[in-house]
């Protein structure tokens, strides 16, 4: 299949050039503000899995633009490129690696053989090992050195080993408690700042906590430093660290067969950190916190959304449509950033995860062959839950000089089922009313004789909505954005699966700690007494 695919820069595509003709041709005020607004909302809805719907009615696209999108998908072979990825071709050109995170939750295409093993079977086996371990902990068969049960779990990791699992844990914590599947309270230590580790360790019951060290290589400086920090706390508390720690790592890392851990679970180089939440990186902490069955439901939601991403019809493929609109906004309309705005407190850390997922993947200025590109790529991603954001940065979003595309997420029902009616509506209804109002306010604006109270409108947004945030819908949300980012990387002809941009700072930090500095680097080091 690789020989049939042409990996070309976006500006080589005839249909990309055609898209430039449509700039400024779609008015959101006209599309949504008139009598045909309801029909527009209906026709711009794409069903997702797990009860979710992606709606792009408030985006600056029409049938002519979408028709060009369809032609671009064929011209740029986007679905063929996705098939090459999930069938095990080397898509990560920077590191000469396969990209297999979809395999951790399902089988889209052919069996993938690598390193002499069937990778799908490998991932399933590791999930089974994690499930068995978690079940033994919950049953009291695995206990601390005093024979007492574990009540808490704490993950030690950074970047993709923290942001995704933490976001998903917070997303499902209330749901698990309401549905009586909550097993253990989870905590996370990520920052090498000792105040972070101390704050967590001082707030938990060390004697009844399992610690998960997550490091694929077993050499990540921040993570190993935090491991030593935790072990020191355990030692001072008179506890045997080897009875409290497990590892998620690669089979070749120094952590794999160490007596310092109760158990080790394995991943491999084909699962990038920011794409690892559906692997053992997320599986261990989420299975311990909520039970393996809940984690399995999460995986099923992600797998179902991966299948949606293979649909060749753009109007039935939510991740592909989202990616194309995002490219159009970035490369044709010139919008530099995107705000992710979940109207769900449970998704409070999901924007932070998407920030890493998107910006670490598509923050590139050379193509997949190392050649400089002449067009912009990944946007700046930021966000906060609504309605908090409305009282923070929405002022700039409504009336600032830059137009920022918006990605709303909302649910009809809360997770906990507890609410109160005040002034004729519940808290959840008020939350939903706010997201509906914001979509229309951004799109249509408001004219006023006082320029300070005038809103230009024409601020585009999309929304993903569903009945309730559940394990399945959380998995579907994660897969949707992973696949959107993948498709955009294909469009921009960049490698979305390496991250050389994080390496230079690490190397310089080692030089500083080794006192191998001079000039300005030494001067800055001296400020901190290093």
The whole-angstrom separation of Cα 135 and Cα 131 is: 6
pLDDT the model gives residue 429: 97
> Taking residues 357-369, what's their average pLDDT?
97
What is the average pLDDT across 258-269?
94
Whether 459 and 442 have beta carbons less than 8 Å apart is answered as yes
DSSP assignment, residue 30? H
What are phi and psi for residue 461, nearest 5 degrees? -150, 160
Task: Give the Cα-Cα-Cα angle 162, 165, 167 (nearest 5 degrees).
Answer: 95
User: 387 preceded by cis ω (within 30°)?
Assistant: yes
Instruction: Judge whether residue 308 has pLDDT over 80.
Output: yes
**pTM above threshold 0.85:** yes
Pairing of strands 152-156, 117-118: unpaired
The pLDDT tens digits for 64-89 are 999 999 999 999 999 999 999 999 99
Distance CA 192, CA 229 (A): 9
Q: Which is nearest to 324 in space by CA: 309, 339, 307?
A: 309
The beta strand positions in 366-508, using DSSP E, are: 380-382, 406-411, 421-422, 425-426, 461-466
Task: List pLDDT tens digits, range 333-361.
Answer: 999 999 999 999 999 999 999 999 999 99
At 218 the pLDDT is: 84
On average, the pLDDT of the chain sits at 96
Convert the pLDDT of each residue in 389-413 to its tens digit.
999 999 999 999 999 999 999 999 9
Q: Give the lowest-confidence range in 56-70, 87-101, 497-511.
A: 497-511
Name the 3-class secondary structure at 245. Answer: strand
Report whether 489 contacts 495 (CB < 8 A). yes
Query: Tokens representing 64?
Result: 């002519």
Q: Give the closest residue to 191 by CA, choosing from 179, 200, 202, 178.
A: 200
Q: What is the structure's pLDDT at 439? A: 98
Which residue matches tokens 């998960």?
212
Judge contact between 230 and 244, C-beta under 8 A: no
Q: pLDDT of 158-176, one tens digit each? A: 999 999 999 999 999 999 9
Q: For 344-432, where are the E strands, in sequence order? A: 380-382, 406-411, 421-422, 425-426
Catalytic residue set = 360, 391, 506
* Gap between the Cα atoms of 192 and 508, Å rounded: 16
**Mean pLDDT on 363-388:** 97
Pair of tokens at residue 298: 């999460």
Q: Does the pLDDT value for residue 291 go beyond 50?
A: yes
pLDDT tier, 1 (very low <50, low <70, confident <90, very high otherwise): very low
> What confidence tier does 220 reach under pLDDT thresholds 50, 70, 90?
confident
- Is the per-residue pLDDT at 186 higher than 70? yes
């Amino acid at each position: 299949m690789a020989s049939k695919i042409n990996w070309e820069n976006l500006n080589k595509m005839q249909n990309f050039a055609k898209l430039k003709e449509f700039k400024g041709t779609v008015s959101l005020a006209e599309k949504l503000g008139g009598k045909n607004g309801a029909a527009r909302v209906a026709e711009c809805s794409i069903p997702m899995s797990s009860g979710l719907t992606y709606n792009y009615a408030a985006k600056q696209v029409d049938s002519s633009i979408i028709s060009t999108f369809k032609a671009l998908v064929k011209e740029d072979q986007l679905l063929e490129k996705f098939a090459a990825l999930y069938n095990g071709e080397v898509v990560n050109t920077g590191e000469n690696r396969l990209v297999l995170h979809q395999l951790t939750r399902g089988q889209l295409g052919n069996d993938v053989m690598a390193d002499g093993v069937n990778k799908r079977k490998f991932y399933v086996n590791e999930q089974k090992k994690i499930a068995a371990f978690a079940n033994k902990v919950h049953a009291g068969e695995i206990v601390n050195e005093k024979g007492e049960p574990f009540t808490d779990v704490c993950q030690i990791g950074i970047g993709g080993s923290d942001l995704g699992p933490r976001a998903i844990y917070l997303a499902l914590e209330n749901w698990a408690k309401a549905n009586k599947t909550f097993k253990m309270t989870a905590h996370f230590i990520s920052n090498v700042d000792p105040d972070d580790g101390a704050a967590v360790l001082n707030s938990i019951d060390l004697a009844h906590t399992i610690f998960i060290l997550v490091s694929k290589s077993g050499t990540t400086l921040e993570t190993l430093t935090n491991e030593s920090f935790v072990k020191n706390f355990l030692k001072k508390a008179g506890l045997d660290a080897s009875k409290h720690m497990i590892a998620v790592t690669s089979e070749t890392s120094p952590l794999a067969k160490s007596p310092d851990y109760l158990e080790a679970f394995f991943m491999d180089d084909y699962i990038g950190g920011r794409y690892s939440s559906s692997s053992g990186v997320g599986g261990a902490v989420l299975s311990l916190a909520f039970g393996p069955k809940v984690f399995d439901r999460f995986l099923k939601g992600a797998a179902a959304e991966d299948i949606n991403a293979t649909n060749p019809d753009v109007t039935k493929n939510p991740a592909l449509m989202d990616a194309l609109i995002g490219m159009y906004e970035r490369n044709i309309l010139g919008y530099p950033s995107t705000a992710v705005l979940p109207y769900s407190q449970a998704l409070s850390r999901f924007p932070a995860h998407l920030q890493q997922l998107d910006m670490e993947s598509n923050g590139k200025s050379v193509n997949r062959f190392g050649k400089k590109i002449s067009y912009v790529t990944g946007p700046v991603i930021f966000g906060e839950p609504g309605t908090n954001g409305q009282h923070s940065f929405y002022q700039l979003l409504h009336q600032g000089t830059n137009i920022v595309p918006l990605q709303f997420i909302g649910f009809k029902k809360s997770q906990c089922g507890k609410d109160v009616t005040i002034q004729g509506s519940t808290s959840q209804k008020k939350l939903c009313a706010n997201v509906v109002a914001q979509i229309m306010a951004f799109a249509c604006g408001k004219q006023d004789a006082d320029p300070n109270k005038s809103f230009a409108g024409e601020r585009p947004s999309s929304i993903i909505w569903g009945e309730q945030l559940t394990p399945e819908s959380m998995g579907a949300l994660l897969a949707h954005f992973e696949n959107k980012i993948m498709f955009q990387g294909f469009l921009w002809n960049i490698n979305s699966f390496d991250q050389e941009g994080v390496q230079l700072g690490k190397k310089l930090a080692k030089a500083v700690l080794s006192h191998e500095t001079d000039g300005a680097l030494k001067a800055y080091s001296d400020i901190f007494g290093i």
